[in-house]
Amino acid sequence: MEYDSLYFLSTNNGLLMSNIEIEKATVFKAALQLNFDLCIQHLAETQRMKIIKNDEKDKFLEENSNIFYDDDTHKHPQCDVLYRIVNKNYFVKNDEYFEKFTAFYFKLYSTIFSFFGLENISMVIHNSKSLISNMNIKLDAVIATASVGHNKSKINKEEDSIEIGFDKNSKNLTESFNNTDDKLDFLYKNMPSNLQNTIYEPSIELDLIQKRTIKNMNIFKHSKKLENTNIIEVELGLKQTFNLNQNIGLFAKSSKEKMISQDVSFDFRFFPSEMLNTELPSIIVTPKPEPERENDYNMDFYVSKEASLSGPWPIHCNEVYVRNSVNSKQEALQIAREQIGVNPPENIIEIVELFVPPFSWTYTVKTFHIKPDTKADVHIGNGRRQVAFDKTLFKYKDNVISTLKGGGYY
């Protein structure tokens, strides 16, 4: 299973978790203790959160030696701290997700695209009022990290954006990049030494780069969704599932005021290309075109069967978009239709229901995109959830439908 969050449990905290009483002892019966192993299983299945006990830590680190924590040097995480995924090789503290995520991509994009005539790059934060902590402090932290190594850059900061400008570089690597077979290796070898690190490899997007190197676009935009783990939602789920009267204290070191669900866009502007021959080199494979959105497109919308305590979610996919706090099932289904319509062959939707006491439900709609060189499917686990997709156009509809039928959700 792939996880969105990691939590390494200290020995002391592990003892505390294994001795939590759900019901106090009375004259007639012994105290009822919480089965923490069931909590661990529940969090894995409903939140994609991996809890690693202290005696399992060394084995996990050995089997997942590709993962860095907090920066590109540390491979040993802190205990009793919640980590959130940036990519499969990089997890950061949940409380620092905004600063670390945006600085990571700002640094990566500004470095790579500087090879191809980058004039300036800006990061624009949408709906920044939803960020509770001080935005100026956050942006200063991003600048401090992202601008490392760009001695000739010109930095401007606004209330909800950062822009870095570059002097024109006489050395443009576009032609060399287009003519190389192993493009990832080419980028790696041309990176500054401080960026020659496997932490960046899963986040290099060749389709995005080829908008410049092959399509020769001078201006384009790319959006990212930032969302860290909502510990309020996680704690509420544990209390409801295990009939707890209070939070178990697992996330005592995490801030409930640093929950992020934020859209961020990166805007790229390049110096005009001086390449006269814009034909594709014969050895370059043309990037897969975006699916055509025909005016008469008639979606064969399908949503899986509802169940009270369990449901399916997509696997072998990347989460690319999230909408939280959707008020009604009808609105959630409409969002699902819209997201499927963006890319019917590649997009599959997960709709998650969460009970909000005393009598209401809220919904989260997650959009997933098929990972390259994999076959998408779904996994059945705990939690009220459904999947939705275009039953005619989705590339791996047969896989998904087979699993849904086997679990009784079709």
Per-residue pLDDT reduced to its tens digit, 180-223: 999 999 999 998 887 888 999 899 999 899 999 988 889 998 88
Can you tell me the distance from the alpha carbon of 178 to that of 207, in angstroms, rounded to the nearest whole number?
Answer: 13
pLDDT band at residue 359 using 50, 70 and 90 as cut-offs: low
Least confident of 222-236, 281-295, 358-372, 386-400: 281-295
pLDDT of residue 152: 43
Name every residue whose Cβ is closer than 8 Å to that of residue 320 and which is 6 or more positions away in sequence.
225, 367, 368, 369
Q: What is the pLDDT of residue 154?
A: 53
Residue 83 pLDDT level (bands cut at 50, 70, 90): very high
Binned at pLDDT 50, 70 and 90, residue 357 comes out as low
* pLDDT for residue 255 is more than 50: yes
Task: Identify the pLDDT of residue 158.
Answer: 52
According to the model, what pLDDT value does residue 310 have?
A: 83
What does the pLDDT read at residue 27? 58
Better-scored residue on pLDDT, 286 or 338: 338
Residue 159 pLDDT exceeds 60: no
Question: pLDDT band for position 245 (50/70/90)?
Answer: confident
How do residues 47-71 score in pLDDT, each as one tens digit?
899 999 999 999 999 999 999 999 9
Phi (first) and psi of residue 253, to 5 degrees: -90, 0
pLDDT greater than 80 at residue 343: yes
pLDDT in tens, 122-150: 888 765 444 434 444 454 554 444 444 44
pLDDT for the residue numbered 278: 43
pTM: 0.67
Instruction: Kindly tell me if the per-residue pLDDT of 101 is higher than 60.
Output: yes
Whether residue 287 is predicted with pLDDT greater than 60 in this model: the reply is: no
Residue 171: partners with Cβ closer than 8 Å, 6 or more residues away = none
**What is the pLDDT confidence band of residue 274, given thresholds at 50, 70 and 90?**
low
- Using alpha carbons, select from 282, 274, 268, 266 the residue that is nearest to residue 171: 274
The pLDDT of residue 275 is above 70:
no
